[in-house]
Amino acid sequence: MPGITREEVAHLARLARLELKPEELDRFAGQLYDIIGAVARVSEVADQDVPPTSHPLPLTNVMREDEVRPSLTPEQALSGAPAQEQQRFKVPQILGED
Amino acid sequence: MTDIIKLTAAETAAKIASGELTAVEVTEAHLARIEAVDEKVHAFLYVDREGALAQARAVDEKRERGEKLGPLAGVPLALKDIFTTEGVPTTVGSKILEGWIPPYDATLTKRLKAADVVILGKTNMDEFAMGSSTENSAYGPTGNPWDLTKIPGGSGGGSSAALASFQAPLAIGTDTGGSIRQPAAVTGTVGVKPTYGAVSRYGMVAFSSSLDQGGPCARTVLDAALLHEVIAGHDPMDSTSIDAPVPPVVEAARNGSVRGMRVGVVKQFRGEGYQAGVIQRFDESVELLKELGAEIVELDCPSFDLALSAYYLIAPSECSSNLARFDGLRYGLRVGDDGTHSAEEVTSLTREAGFGPEVKRRIMLGTYALSSGYYDAYYGSAQKVRTLITRDFEKAFEQVDVIVSPTTPTTAFPIGERADDPMAMYLADLCTIPTNLAGNAAMSLPCGLAPEDNLPVGLQIIAPAMKDDRLYKVGAAVEAAFVEKWGHPLIEEAPSL
């Protein structure tokens, strides 16, 4: 069982878009280590030749006719937006200046 | 003069239909009860006084006009704050959605309204339904009406506490690993996790999509069945919704019997970690089933020992993906948008500020389990365990009609006791998780008080997928036998607050 270091937690937090505080990194490192240590038991079955189950139902694509139907108005869709402009979600700058 | 708040949902509906009570009277009685006790219990995050009274008035007007009323018309209900409600705040117990007013109703909300059920408000829950105690709510814990210093279960602790404190005769929960059944068990109420896909997930905030399932909560088996029938059924808005008739749950609840049934007892559902009083009440329940004419069959389901581990890899993995939608850009909280931070930084700052510790832990655990190098060993193996659990259930249901077990290994624990120990908290769902992984149906109903602490113990009944009616048939028989034995329903022993 590999340990989980503070640096790994920081990396996971970056991947998960969580700006963790230093004290959270320390606390989570210990807790994640304990949890992963406990759940690692599942690897007992890693070599068994059984198919994986991702879902309790046999999933198939559900299709419908491509028809125009009533839906949210732009005002409703934008009603929870932290910021909006010209019927659009206003977000912080994504692309660089140049 | 009967106390309105003590009536069952079935009794309340009958009295409204006959004109003995109006829906407004019933709603006002429950709003008054909420006013009187919820400061202590904290079952509700939001009470929709105006909306509830308007719905009640509409029911009374409908009746005066001679229009046909639904089976639960005018009956008040407490709705878990995970279902969207148009114009009424929906927080999922999280700061990230504080103040959010959904522009649409969940399918379940729509069905309740169409059935003339009166929605009193939204109930407290562990943030994003992650927890077993409701302590992970960003809005403070809920007390267990049997002992306010104890947890009411979780994640649906607000719903179970509302029932046990007579603030509503009906409630809605969601069950990903036990969040309907475990709260029912520790509050002496009834909760059902229907077969996966039976109740639409449209408008139900997603935690772990292959496990999440909404379901009915009540104080009696019949009331749960009446609610089950209202909320279940195919929904084209949910691609995992089962397109088949709802099993005859109400008929089963009205005709409880176990005579000639084969009832399984799984050897993995006892042992270390189980409270003596819980095992005692469970063993008595098995004896009772025998007396009622059931045949008891011992079962061995070895893969169940790995269920908890598989669950705590699968559920966090799905949650890390599902909760990516909370990016601070389109709705909910936004932090750091002051012109000095990039969109990505704003997302990270928003999620840091908006999510509580358990949600962050699970997002990171899922991110870890899904990352390259660990995927096969953890997530891949967990999916194999899921297959083995499904097979163990299939083999079991070749031999038995239903399986019974304790719902939880212990009675309600003190608020704060496990708050800083995630692994201890996770053990609360030991008996409920296998059902979620396999997608079949299960119920918890009260089977007595544990002698050592006088707190409720839950009996779990598990049925194969699409055989939800068996839960009600067995549950109604057990409930009737216990009420006869005790001389009254267990809930009557709950403190009056």
The mean pLDDT of B173-182, rounded to a whole number, is: 98
DSSP assignment of B190-258: EEEEPPTTSB--TTB--SSTTT--EEEEESSHHHHHHHHHHHBS--TT-TTS--SPPP-HHHHHHT---
> How far does CA B301 lie from the centroid of its chain?
25
Residue A14 placed within a domain: yes
Query: Closest Cα of chain A to B331: distance in Å?
Result: 4
Could you tell me whether strands B456-463 and B441-449 are parallel, antiparallel, or unpaired per DSSP bridges?
Answer: antiparallel
A86 close contact with B: CB closer than 8 A? no
- pLDDT tens per residue, range A10-52: 999 999 999 999 999 999 999 999 999 999 999 999 889 999 9
Dist CA B466 CA B381 (whole Å) = 27
Residues 6+ apart with CB under 8 A from B98: B91, B138, B332, B333
Whether A20 and chain B come into contact, CB under 8 Å, resolves to: yes
A67: which 2 tokens?
Answer: 């028809």
The answer to whether residues A90 and A84 touch, using CB atoms and an 8 Å cutoff, is yes
Three-point CA angle B431, B434, B437, nearest 5°: 150
| CA-CA-CA-CA dihedral for A23, A26, A32, A34, to nearest 10 | -120
- The answer to whether residue B107 scores a pLDDT higher than 90 is yes
The residue extents of the domains of chain B are 4-257+441-493
In whole angstroms, what is the distance from residue B43 CA to residue B123 CA? 6
pLDDT band at residue A63 under the 50/70/90 scheme: confident
Task: Label residue A4 by pLDDT band (50, 70, 90).
Answer: confident
Of A12, A18, A61, the CB nearest to B348: A18
Check B364 against A13: CB less than 8 A apart: yes
- Which of A40, A77, A93 lies nearest to residue B343, judging by beta carbons? A93
Check pLDDT > 80 for residue B167.
Answer: yes
> At residue A2, does pLDDT exceed 60?
no
Cβ-based contacts under 8 A for chains A and B: 179
pLDDT digits (tens, 9 = 90+) for B1-30: 459 999 999 999 999 999 999 999 999 999
Chain B nearest CA to A68, separation (Å): 15
- Among partner residues A19, A79, A94, which is closest to B352 by beta-carbon distance? A19
Pick from A18, A44, A59: which is nearest to B351 by CB?
A18
Residue of A25, A41, A53, A72 to mutate, testing the B interface (most B Cβ within 10 Å of its Cβ): A53
pLDDT at B268 over 60: yes
Mean pLDDT of B255-282: 97
- Residues of chain B with pLDDT > 90, as a percent, come to 97
- Could you give the CA distance from residue B224 to residue B190 in angstroms, rounded to a whole number? 7
Element housing B298 (H / E) = strand B295-299
Q: What are phi and psi for residue B87, nearest 5 degrees?
A: 80, 0
Residue B280: pLDDT over 60: yes
Whether residues A17 and B351 touch (CB distance < 8 A) is answered with yes
B344:A76 CB<8 A: no
Q: Does A4 contact B at CB distance below 8 Å?
A: yes
Residue B268 backbone phi and psi in degrees, to 5: -75, -15
Question: Is residue B358 within a helix (H) or strand (E), and if so which, with residue range?
Answer: helix B357-370
In this predicted structure, the answer to whether residue B278 has a pLDDT above a threshold of 90 is yes
Determine, for residues B364 and A56 on separate chains, whether the beta-carbon distance falls below 8 Å.
no
Question: 3-class SS at B461?
Answer: strand
Confidence tier at A61 by pLDDT (50, 70, 90): confident
Query: What is the chain A residue with the closest CA to B425?
Result: A35
Contact across the interface for B423 and A34, Cβ inside 8 Å: yes
pLDDT band for position B156 (50/70/90)? very high
Among the partner residues B236, B310, B346, nearest to A92 by beta-carbon distance: B346
Chain B residues close to A81, C-beta within 8 Å = 330-331
**Does residue A20 belong to any structural domain of this protein?**
yes
Q: Rounded distance, CA B34 to CA B189, Å?
A: 18
**C-alpha distance from B409 to closest chain A C-alpha (Å):** 18
| The token pair that represents B51 in the structure block | 């909306």
Least confident of B88-92, B313-317, B417-421, B472-476: B417-421
Residues of B noted as catalytic: 80, 155, 179
CATH code (residue A22)? 1.10.20
Mutate to test the interface with B, among A5, A9, A42 (most CBs of B within 10 A): A42
A30 CA to chain B: closest CA distance, Å? 11
Provide the mean pLDDT of chain B: 97
Could you tell me which residues come within 8 angstroms of residue A7 by beta carbon, excluding any fewer than 6 positions away? none
pLDDT for B351 equals: 98
pLDDT above 90 for B291: yes
- Given pLDDT bands bounded at 50, 70 and 90, which one contains residue A97? low
Instruction: Reply yes or no on whether the pLDDT at B283 is more than 50.
Output: yes
pLDDT of residue A1: 45
CA of B185, closest CA in chain A: separation in Å? 25
- Looking at the complex, report in whole angstroms how far the Cα of residue B376 sits from the nearest Cα belonging to chain A: 8
Cα(B45)–Cα(A57) distance, rounded to whole angstroms?
34
Select from B346, B348, B365 the Cβ nearest to the Cβ of A32: B365
pLDDT at B200 over 80: yes
Whether residue A16 is contained in a domain is answered as: yes
Residue in the block written with tokens 């011992």: B298
Which of B208, B311, B384, B436 best probes binding to A when mutated, by most A CB atoms within 10 angstroms? B384
- Interhelix angle B307-322/B381-399, rounded to 10 degrees, is 120
pLDDT at B349 over 70: yes
Predicted local confidence at residue A93, as pLDDT: 85
Q: Is B415 helix (H, G, I), strand (E, B) or coil?
A: coil
| CA atoms within 13 A of residue B294's CA, in its CB half-sphere | 28
Q: Which fold has domain B4-257+441-493?
A: Amidase signature (AS) enzymes (3.90.1300)
Say if the Cβ atoms of B384 and A44 lie within 8 Å. Answer: no
Q: Is residue A62, in this structure, part of any structural domain at all?
A: no
Out of B332, B341, B355, closest to residue A80 by CB? B332
A40 to chain B: closest CA residue: B378
Q: What is the pLDDT of residues B389-422, one digit of tens each?
A: 999 999 999 999 999 999 999 999 999 999 889 9
Q: What percent of chain B lies above the pLDDT cut of 70?
A: 100
Q: In chain B, what residues touch A55 (CB-CB under 8 Å)? A: 210, 240
pLDDT value at residue A95? 78
Name residue B322's amino acid. N
Using an 8 Å CB-CB cutoff, list chain A residues near B330.
Answer: 80-81, 89
**A92 and B CB contact within 8 Å:** yes
Enclosing domain of residue A18: 6-44
pLDDT of residue A94: 82
Domain count, chain A: 1
**For B335-344, what is each residue's pLDDT tens digit?**
999 999 999 9
Q: Answer whether A50 sits within 8 Å of B384, measured CB to CB.
A: yes
What is the DSSP pairing of strand B190-193 with strand B214-218? antiparallel
Residue A64: what pLDDT?
87
**CA distance to partner chain B, nearest, from residue A23 (Å):** 12
Inter-chain CB proximity B347 and A17 less than 8 Å: yes
Report helix, strand or coil for B314.
Answer: helix
Q: How far is CA B384 from the centre of its chain?
A: 27
Nearest of B206, B167, B209, B213 to residue B192 by alpha carbon: B213
Best A4, A18, A93 member to test B by mutation, with max B CBs in 10 Å, is A18
For residue B212, what pLDDT is reported? 98
